[in-house]
Amino acid sequence: MEPGDILYIPPGFPHEGYSLENSLNYSVGYRAPNARELFSGFADYVLQRELGSQRYADPDVPSRDHPADILPTELDRLREMMLGLINQPEHFKQWFGEFITQSRHELDVAPPEPPYQPDEIYDALQQGDTLERLGGLRVLRIDGEVFVNGEKINSPHRPALDALATHLTLRADHFGDALEDPSFLAMLAALVNSGYWFFGD
């Protein structure tokens, strides 16, 4: 490798990936959401769950010099009503977990055919097979809750959920006693049958 063989172009410098000779061009984007996307995503969450149905009310309407005026105190009450939705911790965590783990591009999922039955997954893991996480799948933990591609995973088996969020390759010992719980196995089978995890070669 000689000087000039590798060129790094930092963020904020638009460019086109052309070269004078044959070359490999890798473009890696790390794009954080902007405020508009956050507000839009939270608004969708509110609408889907029919939150914020309380109407604005002001029983003590103050008098004003001009009938067309909206007073600063009224604007403050409106702002407080809207912020009240964002300031509900449980809803905010639920929304953000769903929003931030939702893939922004189409995942290369390949659901197994035929779908796995829970007992088949149990047997495979006990025989030493490993589950591999799909590339690009977002799995995050927020305040102990685990989210996978826009959905919260519900299970009392916290160590097993932590393993889903922590490891790219999963073995039977990562799940521990959770594999003996039919409800956890059914949930794991649903994830595998969605193509989010697959058995390694």
Question: For residue range 14-43, what is the model confidence (pLDDT) as tens digits?
Answer: 777 777 778 777 766 667 889 999 999 999
Is 162 within 8 Å of 146 (Cβ atoms)? yes
Q: Which helix (H) or strand (E) covers residue 146, if one does? A: strand 145-148
Please give the Cα distance from 82 to 56 (Å, whole number). 10
E strand residue ranges, the chain = 131-133, 139-142, 145-148, 151-153, 169-170, 197-199
Burial of 180 (0-12, 13-18, 19+ CB in 10 A): exposed
Check whether 183 has a pLDDT greater than 70: yes
Q: Please indicate, yes or no, if residue 17 is contained in any of the structural domains.
A: no
Mean of pLDDT over the chain: 91
Average pLDDT rounded to a whole number, residues 42-59:
90
Q: Answer yes or no: do 96 and 127 share one domain.
A: no
Residues 141, 94 share a domain: no
Do 150 and 89 reside in the same domain of the chain?
Answer: no
CA dist., res. 25 & res. 34, Å (int): 27
CA-closest candidate to residue 100, choices 45, 140, 133: 140
21: in domain: no
Write out the residue range of the structural domain in which residue 158 sits. Answer: 118-199
Residue type, 86: I
What is the Cα–Cα distance from 105 to 108, expressed in whole angstroms? 9
Each residue's pLDDT tens digit, 143-175: 999 999 999 999 999 999 999 999 999 999 999
Residues 90 and 122 in one domain: no
Q: Is residue 191 part of a domain?
A: yes
134: phi then psi, degrees, rounded to nearest 5: -60, 135
Q: How many percent of the chain have pLDDT more than 70?
A: 97
Neighbours of 96 (CB within 10 A): 17
